Amino acid sequence: MNEVLEKERELVRGVQLRTAYRVYVCLLESRAASVKDIQKAMGFHSSAQARFHLNKLVELDLAHEDANATFRVKDRRFGILRFFVRVRNSLYPMSLFYSVFFAFVTLFLFLRTPTVEILLLGALITSKEIADTYMFYTML
């Protein structure tokens, strides 16, 4: 257990550069990309910038380079990424699903027994989950 925590701390320290983290998220969404693809997606001025951050991800064992210079992501959950779910090529915070779930439960209960208390409690819980979802998106 202690070894797992230390490994996660090392990963978080390794991608402390916000740019390296964003490159990792970009690579997560595309699964595989070349240096030019990352340069274009991230808006880097030179391919050397993209290469630097991709090499850093390889060094941290978050990606690996194929023989044809394509970088493939290794799907790892660390830091804030533990709270995200990948659906196809997109990342969504788990709180998004919770907010939709609580909104439907609130609507169902209100239609079944229309009381103000159910509506207020449901709205409070749903709005808290929506705020969490927004916070997670801004952290990404």
State the pLDDT at residue 10. Answer: 66
**Tell me: the pLDDT tens digits for 83-140?**
888 888 778 888 899 999 999 999 999 999 889 999 999 999 999 999 988 888 887 6
Q: What is the DSSP string of 31-75?
A: SEEEHHHHHHHHT-SSHHHHHHHHHHHHHTTSEEE-TTSEEEE--
Model's pTM, two decimal places? 0.65
Rounded to an integer, what is the distance from CA 4 to the centroid of its chain? 20
Q: Are 35 and 54 in contact (CB under 8 A)?
A: yes
- Strand, coil or helix: 84: strand
